[in-house]
Amino acid sequence: MLVENKEVVVSGKFPRIARLQDEYYDWVEDPRDIVAKVKSGGVKADMFTFLQKVTDRTTRYDYHHEQDSIAVLPITTYEHWWTKQINVKTRNMVRKAEKCGVSVRVVEFNDDLIKEIKEVYDESPLRQGKPFKHYGKDLATLKSSHISFLDRSQFIGAFYGNELIGFIKLVHDEGISHLMQIISKISHRNKAPTNALIAKAVEICAQRGMPYLHYGIWSKRGLGDFKKHHAFEKLDLMRYFIPLNVKGKMILALKLHHKFSERLPQKWVDIILGLRSRWNAIKYDVGET
């Protein structure tokens, strides 16, 4: 459902929770207004959740709220990041990309870029041990999904010769920029293209005077160590929950609005994810991703 030019999606079965599709890159200006339109639009959801802007640290609304943690890199200058915030190993990885012949530059968003992005996406049906959502999509679908926020976006490509081996979609916001997409070819992982891409993103943000660079959620699993090595830190945002019906009120009162996996001990989660990765590798007949 499109509300105030913002796509609202519903996820889950119990409870069914509505939110902005691009909630980490787009923001709710008036929650009362958007909730009223969600209700009147017939969206089948039990509650609506939204995030407060990264640059606003004050509790603004009298709704149930909790902390939602994202990974953010504080930026002053590129030189400061390079010499003070990252360690020798990370600097060497960025240097390695250059020594291996990887070049990084801002590229124009056009049909040729979409074709190259498709080649990156279609390299493997799995990413981080789970089915990759962009694998096998046609060019028109990929173009539609990457055209969002185009007026405030930059695409950064990592090239080995003439081959695109990785890219970033960098979305600029008020007081913060976002790594909305960052991915590299698995076959060129030994050339450290992702490290080089992040370095270029930091350079661009520093030139623009952006104080923060956002890179997904904060997590100790998956890319957690990779983010830490590039000086990303945990930043807590306000996440609000607004019940849309009686069922939503009961679920919120009983604190049942979180996924079952979020209530499990971290050790159990790690075991389950490891088993899932191995099963998916067998199912899709691929190696480590």
Residue 132: give its domain's CATH number.
3.40.630.30
Counting residues of the chain whose pLDDT is more than 90, the rounded percentage is: 67
280 belongs to a structural domain: no
* pLDDT score for 42: 79
Whether the predicted pLDDT of 278 surpasses 80: no
141 with 26, same domain: the answer is no
- How far apart are the C-alpha atoms of 206 and 182, rounded to whole Å? 19
The DSSP secondary-structure symbol of 222 reads T
Least confident of 24-28, 37-41, 126-130, 251-255: 126-130
Task: Please give the tally of structural domains in the chain.
Answer: 2
Q: Are residues 52 and 95 in the same domain?
A: no
Q: Give the model confidence (pLDDT) of 22-73 as tens digits.
A: 998 888 888 999 999 888 887 889 999 999 988 887 888 999 999 999 999 9
Give the lowest-confidence range in 61-70, 126-135, 155-164, 189-198.
Answer: 126-135
Same domain, 105 and 32: no
Name the 3-class secondary structure at 284: coil
pLDDT at residue 280, rounded to an integer: 63
State which residues form the domain around 13: 2-67+237-258
Rounded to whole angstroms, the Cα distance separating 239 from 68 reads 6
Question: Do residues 101 and 60 both lie within one domain?
Answer: no
CA dist 287 → 57, 127, 132 (Å): 43, 11, 14
Do the beta carbons of residue 25 and residue 38 sit within 8 Å?
A: no
Between CA 221 and CA 68 the distance in angstroms is 16
Do residues 111 and 139 lie in contact, with contact meaning Cβ atoms separated by under 8 Å? Answer: yes
Q: Is residue 36 part of a domain?
A: yes
> What single-letter DSSP state applies at residue 271?
H
DSSP string, 166-192: EEEEEEEETTEEEEEEEEE-GGGGGG-
Instruction: Find the mean pLDDT for residues 154-158.
Output: 98
93 shares its domain with 108: yes
